Amino acid sequence: MKMLAIELSTAQGSLALFDDDRILAAKEWNENAFRNQHIFVALPELFREAGESLDAVDCFMVGRGPGNFSGLRIGISAARGFALPDQKEVYAVSSGEALALSVCAGGSAGSVAVVGDARRNMLWFCLFSYQGSELKKVGDWEIAAYDEAAERIGDAQVVVSPDWERLKDRLAGGLAKLSWLEENRFPSAVDIGHLGTLKRASGLPSEELGPLYMHPPVFIPPRFPAQ
């Protein structure tokens, strides 16, 4: 089965085309330079390299975050749009969970916390454990102020973030004492494909086909009162 994986949750966008668990082709790019639109340039290049076409894809896998809300909306909308004409399958997984699996499977840790900058002096995060090649969530995705986040993820052997360069100068107290991987670590479409394949093979359903957005909606009153 051929699968196209899409990941646009961070500053690094990516695509990967799989034939079962074999990677046929993959593309990565700096999304900040393209305003979330480069997927439509990279996609034809990906298929040319693989000698395949969009029609050959049986399943579309997409990362749903947490992360860049605009990128997530475009990635999910693209996957659903590609799948719609022939009613093909769309399968969503957490981008953060895919990153955690990549870190743990690479031998970096038996437990890992994935952390991101939620702005407004907040962090989003989730803790994962890895035993016997199986990744498990320890609690749900959360959002909290810096000190509270440090208390909740203090048991992680490794802390990883796609926002390390933005966060590193603001870490103090308990957060500064954690075992950070001191570089931006981005989930990739290859990671999305690997996690999606494992979950799908285990009979687990797709996650919701919508962005995993950590902030609650903010109501902005209209500038002019209703007449």
Tokens of 37: 């639109």
Lowest-pLDDT range of 139-148, 167-176, 189-198, 207-216: 207-216
pLDDT at residue 59 in the model: 98
Residue 164 to residue 38: CA distance in whole angstroms: 24
Round the average pLDDT of the chain to a whole number and report it: 92
Band (pLDDT 50/70/90 cuts) for residue 65 is very high
Read off the pLDDT of each residue in 48-58 and give the average, rounded to a whole number: 97
Residue 61 to residue 92: CA distance in whole angstroms: 6
Q: Do domains 2-95+187-201 and 96-184 have the same CATH topology?
A: yes
Residue 40 to residue 19: CA distance in whole angstroms: 21
Q: Is the pLDDT of residue 227 over 60?
A: no
- Apex 76 CA angle, 70 and 81, nearest 5: 120
Residue 188 to residue 7: CA distance in whole angstroms: 6
pLDDT at residue 101 in the model: 96
Provide the 10 A C-beta neighbour count for residue 101.
24
Read off the pLDDT of each residue in 2-19 and give the average, rounded to a whole number: 97
State pTM to two decimals: 0.92
Q: Is the pLDDT of residue 223 over 70?
A: no
Q: In CATH, what number does 96-184 get?
A: 3.30.420.40
Interval 140-189: pLDDT, tens? 999 999 989 999 998 899 999 999 999 999 999 999 999 999 999 999 99
Residue 18 to residue 26: CA distance in whole angstroms: 9
Is there a contact between 196 and 149 (Cβ–Cβ < 8 Å)? no
Give backbone dihedrals phi and psi of 55, rounded to 5 degrees, phi first.
-60, -25
Q: Where are the domains positioned within the chain?
A: 2-95+187-201, 96-184
Q: Of 59, 52, 55, nearest to 26 (Cα)?
A: 52
| C-alpha dihedral (194, 196, 197, 201), degrees to nearest 10 | 140
**Domain 2-95+187-201 adopts which CATH fold?**
Nucleotidyltransferase; domain 5 (3.30.420)
Interval 118-136: pLDDT, tens? 988 899 999 999 988 899 9
Interval 83-118: pLDDT, tens? 999 999 999 999 999 999 999 987 767 899 999 999
Read off the pLDDT of each residue in 206-214 and give the average, rounded to a whole number: 93
